[in-house]
Amino acid sequence: MPGSANSLFTTHTLISFPNCKINLGLNILGKREDGFHNLETFFLPVRVHDALEIVPSENETHITVTGIDAGNPENNLCIKAFHLLKKDYRELPEINIHLHKAIPVGAGLGGGSADAAFTLQLLNKKCNLNISEEKIFGYASLLGSDCPFFILNKPCLATARGELLEPINISFAQYKIAIVHPGISISTAEAFSKIKPPSPGKKIKEIIQQPIETWKNELNNDFEKYVFEKYPDIKKIKEDLYKAEAIYASMTGSGSAVFGIFKKDAIINYSTEHGYFYKIVDVVENGNNF
């Protein structure tokens, strides 16, 4: 039986820092009968963080969102995550959520999915709900295809809709990653509707275990063709990252953020004159810590 959540909430403020992810390769394998698509990709968690704070409320549950505009707060996945748990765990008290957004929105970085997954885990672990990892994965999958990844938050091969995860131990200790977001928001649904799955090539699982220097010619994101044709500025970001001597560069997810992988000691000569979001980050090595 779950423990008492109320007793903890009266004395604690719960805080965590959801991070984002990038996709190393993204192959669309075909449309499913449920309307989703089967895919193959490699999720890599990286250190761009939102801030998530949860405190007890004397009234009904409410959310405030600051930082980057993320749309209507009442549609936020953190609220949906709370109500998903509240349906099964009635002892969970009403809460106030404060989410400060620093991860770009509509960028293919999975910030909303991370916020939801961290909400589930924070409430479970700090409120002694004693929900198994398997059941938490189930809740996460109801919130979005990327959400289960952030329960593990470790480098993973992802298949099916993205919810079937296989952790793979790959070290990025000798590298740093530049992330660039031009402020363009890409509709994931529209991007999927424009994709014609190409003939399958070498498996991403095989490619990502090769030296990074080989990825440029083999590791592809199937969304790039459509997005680059519609938004040439995004294509140019990738070209400019290669001009800055990235070992590998790609769009992440369905866009519009683009990243480049560089040696740890490299001096990155990338121009930020356009005012784009630009950040040099490391890989999250140890998963979530609550």
Active-site positions read: 21, 146
Q: 3-state DSSP call for residue 250?
A: strand
**C-beta of residue 144 within 8 angstroms of C-beta of residue 77:** yes
User: ∠57-71-98 over CA atoms, to 5°?
Assistant: 25
End-to-end alpha carbon distance in the chain:
21
Number of Cβ atoms within 10 Å of the Cβ of 198: 12
CB neighbour list of residue 44: distance below 8 Å, 6 or more residues apart? 21, 22, 23, 24, 155, 172, 283
